[in-house]
Amino acid sequence: MKLTDAKINDLQAKDEEYRVKCTKAPGLSIKVMPSGRKSFIVDGRIKGGRTRRFTIGTHPSLSASDAREKAQHLMSMMQRGEDPKEVRLERDAIKAMQSKTLATTFKEFLSVRNLKPKTVKDYQGTLNTVFAAWLNKPINKITRKDVTDLFVDTRDNRGQATAVKAFRILSAIINFAKADDVGGVRLLTENPVDVLKEKRVDRKVRQRDRYLDETEIEKLMQFDLVERTFHQKPTHGVSDQGMNYVMLVLFTGMRKGEVANLKWEDVDFKKKTIVARNTKNGSDHYVPMSKMIQWKLETQKKVSDLKGSAWVFPRRLGDGPMTEPKSQLARICKATGIKFRLHDLRRTFATHATRAGTSYELIQKALNHKSGSVTNSYIIGNIDMMRPVFDTVFLAYSKMYLDDEDYERLLDPEGSHEIIE
């Protein structure tokens, strides 16, 4: 019979469910449950494919005429070879994808990218400060104007470097979202951060070029080897560990995190090498010991052994490596009158290695800069090739600190060690 609202109302519940087909709309029927609930059902076959059954609504919430219209739409789709279920799932997926917020997309970004914990923390801090107001905003609703306005606001109130870094991170997250598609339909077809490039917005960050000159290196070594060591009542508050850490960065050129995360199992006093694991460029970094590096590590071993730690620079409380010694660095700067950052010491290493005649390629390897050269893979086997770089820097620094007579004694292998001690 033709299903109408009146006829459906007359249908009575029975002990078992039953169905009544509609003669006006092929595939449509009404199912009556023992409870009295009445549901519209559509049965059909996809052209050249499988059968499908859909519950499209309940009566009287859905009228008979509306049910016939929905049934005709579904049957037409199946006759065209379309699967209404797949179409619905695809539509829902597109809707869900289009409602993804910046926070949700960032979470997915982190789950896929293999980022170091420090990088993750840095990214999270940036999003929670610069993009706090956008976290719950659908990512496809971030406009080019939004980007331009917030970049300018961030630059003017937080600084150029912060703005450049923040929008570099945002661009990476949006590029990640651009790769998503449902059935060939992409959530995003452009990255709104590109507007900064197209408008030629200045995104240059002045590179720091600070390094310690000869006088400053002399002051730092004088403080470490004389004033700090022999002062009877020190008031500077600089610890042995804090000083050893700073001097290792100065004499190795290693990144601050590479030094902080050293383990004693990666220090070989016999072969006179140390190995930094899990470095920024993903490779192990082998560093030969100069005399000063060896002496500092031997000194630090005594400090570390007091805690029985596996870490070269253990944290003060609990197990694990220490974090960046900001308070110790501040005390060293105050005691010496030299204002510097830890990364300035890495730059100092490179600068004085260059001035001493070391080639650019060797300095690159000594600093563990990433390079596409296949020769990088042979650095472990050619560790002795790197040793002169670190010895050269040691001698260059020593010449700034020692008088001519002591420096000549340093060049004598038999007398070199007692100069340090």
- Taking residue 246's Cβ as centre, other Cβ atoms within 10 Å add up to 24
Q: Which residues contact 99 (CB under 8 A, 6 or more apart)?
A: 138
The answer to whether 420 and 295 have CB atoms below 8 angstroms apart is: yes
Per-residue pLDDT tens over the stretch 32-67: 999 999 999 999 998 888 888 999 999 999 999 999
Give the closest residue to 260 by CA, choosing from 277, 239, 282. Answer: 277
Residue 178 has pLDDT above 90, yes or no: no
pTM, 2 dp: 0.60
Residue 419 has pLDDT above 50, yes or no: no
Average pLDDT score, the chain: 87
Alpha-carbon gap, residue 26 to 297, rounded angstroms: 86
Per-residue pLDDT tens over the stretch 193-205: 999 999 999 888 7
Look at residue 192 and give its three-state secondary structure. Answer: coil
Retrieve residue 117's tokens.
Answer: 């914990």
Residue 253 has pLDDT above 80, yes or no: yes
| DSSP letters spanning 53-112 | EEEEEEETTS-HHHHHHHHHHHHHHHHTT--HHHHHHHHHHHHHHHT-BHHHHHHHHHHH
Retrieve residue 250's tokens.
Answer: 């100065």
Per-residue pLDDT tens over the stretch 339-398: 999 999 999 999 999 999 988 888 888 888 876 544 444 444 468 788 999 999 999 999
Output DSSP code: residue 224: I
- Domain 99-198, architecture per CATH: Orthogonal Bundle (1.10)
> Identity (one letter) of the amino acid at 294?
Q
> Identity (one letter) of the amino acid at 217?
I
Per-residue pLDDT tens over the stretch 1-44: 889 999 999 999 999 999 999 988 899 999 999 999 999 999 99
Q: The tokens 């290493």 sit on which residue?
A: 349
Write down the pLDDT at residue 287. Answer: 93
Write down the pLDDT at residue 119. Answer: 87
Per-residue pLDDT tens over the stretch 130-165: 999 999 998 888 999 999 999 999 999 988 989 999
Write down the pLDDT at residue 377. Answer: 43
Alpha-carbon gap, residue 260 to 252, rounded angstroms: 13
Write down the pLDDT at residue 345. Answer: 95
Write down the pLDDT at residue 179. Answer: 84
| DSSP letters spanning 295-316 | HHHHHHHHHHHTTT-SBSSB-S
According to CATH, the topology of domain 214-420 is hpI Integrase; Chain A (1.10.443)
Phi, psi of 59 (to 5 degrees): -100, 135
pLDDT over 70 percentage in the chain: 90
Per-residue pLDDT tens over the stretch 218-241: 999 999 988 887 766 778 889 999
Residue 316 has pLDDT above 90, yes or no: no
Give the closest residue to 202 by CA, choosing from 152, 168, 131, 248. Answer: 152
Write down the pLDDT at residue 410. Answer: 66
Structure confidence at residue 417 as a pLDDT band (50, 70, 90): very low
Per domain, the residue ranges of the chain are 5-82, 99-198, 214-420
Lowest-pLDDT range, 81-85, 135-139, 243-247?
Answer: 81-85
Retrieve residue 394's tokens.
Answer: 């040691």
CA distance from start to end of the chain: 106
Give the closest residue to 109 by CA, choosing from 278, 101, 191. Answer: 101
Q: How far is CA 55 from CA 27, 81, 226, 255, in A?
A: 12, 20, 87, 63
Retrieve residue 52's tokens.
Answer: 């499908």
Write down the pLDDT at residue 420. Answer: 46
Instruction: List % helix, strand, coil for the chain (3-state, nearest 5).
Output: 55, 10, 35
- Domain 5-82, architecture per CATH: 2-Layer Sandwich (3.30)
